[in-house]
A and B are shown apart, each in its own frame.
Chain A
Amino acid sequence: MPVADNNSLAYIIIEAEEGSFRGAVLASDLRGIPVDFRYTEPIRPTKLEKVLYGNALEVYLKEELILESLIRAVEAKPALWICREQNLLAPLRFFTKSKAIMLMNSNHHPLDSAGDIESTGENGVYFVQADSVSAPLKITFQPNVAENEVKFVVNLLVNASQTMELTEPFSRMQKALRTIATEIQGDGK
């Protein structure tokens, strides 16, 4: 079992587009430089599979099949797993057995200084001022998260925000998936 690396973060995205599902995981150092990047080939369920799985198909594909496969594929053990979809947070924590958050930009007014935390009123959801020249980030933990876990994650993010932009990897991963999809289409012609 790899030991948690306090100098790396892992980002996960899973997308559904035009009936096909795909996902990617990026492990990066605290500068945003990739350590590992893996993606799934698009999964397009057949009509039979749609009938057999019914309404559970999307949940099964996104929250179990793709997510678990991506997590297992990452060789490093990052200090923190980051997603941007609420419904991935619980399974992400379950499969990684590690710290996991949902991370988003916000339009909230800046807090006084880097490291400041403000509760949103929702259980486990906070505004965190990661650096002094941006709006605070909106961070969602699982409900009833322990206070020391919140502190650990906030310290890690404040530290990382000095050398990288914390939500930027998501857009880079999306670009990568689009590039890969274009390559696959090109090969198919």
Chain B
Amino acid sequence: MVNREDIRKYFSRYFLGRIPVHSFCFSMHKMNVLNLNRNIEVYKGVAKARIISPLQFSCGKLACVNSSMKMKSLSAKIKGDKIKSYAPGEIKSKEVSLKIAVHLRKWRKQFALLPQERRNRLSFIPINERVTEKNEFNLAYFQPIIHDNVSKLVLNKQNGSLFIWYNSINRSFDPKGLYMYKRLGDKDIDWRWIEIGSQSKN
């Protein structure tokens, strides 16, 4: 009787190298099932607000943290320049004054050099009442002028006003009026002082 082993050997010799024989394992790999769900963790992005009075910064007390850190003992061991105290986070605030300052100056002496100005008042005196003589016509009338105090008179040709420089030392208070007039045929203008109140004939 031919046993099965003999048959296998026979056929294996016969087919040797012609048919590849593979073994096959039916055992399946264990599948890993992954959960796609995510856990959401919420972090607070904003820290609690801290309000620090600016006065705390200006008083300089933050710098005193140095004393608790014993920086002195550290500095003694280091050769060379001493380490200057340093407080991290030290903030210096600048105080802003809310009061606006006013600076006053005296200028009386210089101001006294400025001339007073008189405008022409001729238009307020009716033509038939103006003080004038024959062959004269008035161009302007100025008042009041303290005649005894006058040190200089200048006619402002731009607007017809009169500049007056007074000598302030003189204490006279005697006011006068001043006519500026022209005589027919003359090129130059002339001046006439009159008492106040007599600037018109009435």
Contacts and interface: CB of A to CB of B under 8 A. Distances in A.
User: Do A and B associate with each other?
Assistant: yes
Interface of A: 26, 30-41, 43, 45, 48-49, 52, 61, 65-66, 69-70, 73, 110, 131-135, 161-165, 168, 171-172, 175-176, 179-180
A133 B143 contact: yes
Nearest to A173: B111
B108 A163 contact: no
A37 B144 CA distance: 22
Given A31-B166, A162-B196, A175-B114, A43 B149 contact: no
Interface of B: 96, 98, 100, 102-108, 110-112, 114, 116-119, 121, 124-125, 141, 143-144, 146, 149, 166, 168, 173, 175, 196, 199
Nearest to A46: B100
Chain A: interface secondary structure? Answer: mixed
Given A43-B100, A134-B121, A36 B175 contact: no
Contact of A37 (B98, B106, B199): B106
Contacts of A35: 108
A163 B175 contact: yes
Contacts of B166: 31-33
- Mostly, the B contact residues are mixed
B43 to A, nearest CB: 38
A69 B103 CA distance: 9
Contacts of B118: 165, 168
B100 A172 contact: no
B116 A39 contact: no
A134 B124 contact: yes
Contacts of B106: 36-38
Nearest to A169: B116
Contact of B114 (A41, A133, A161, A176): A176
Given A52-B98, A164-B144, A36 B108 contact: yes
A131 B143 CA distance: 10
Nearest to A66: B102
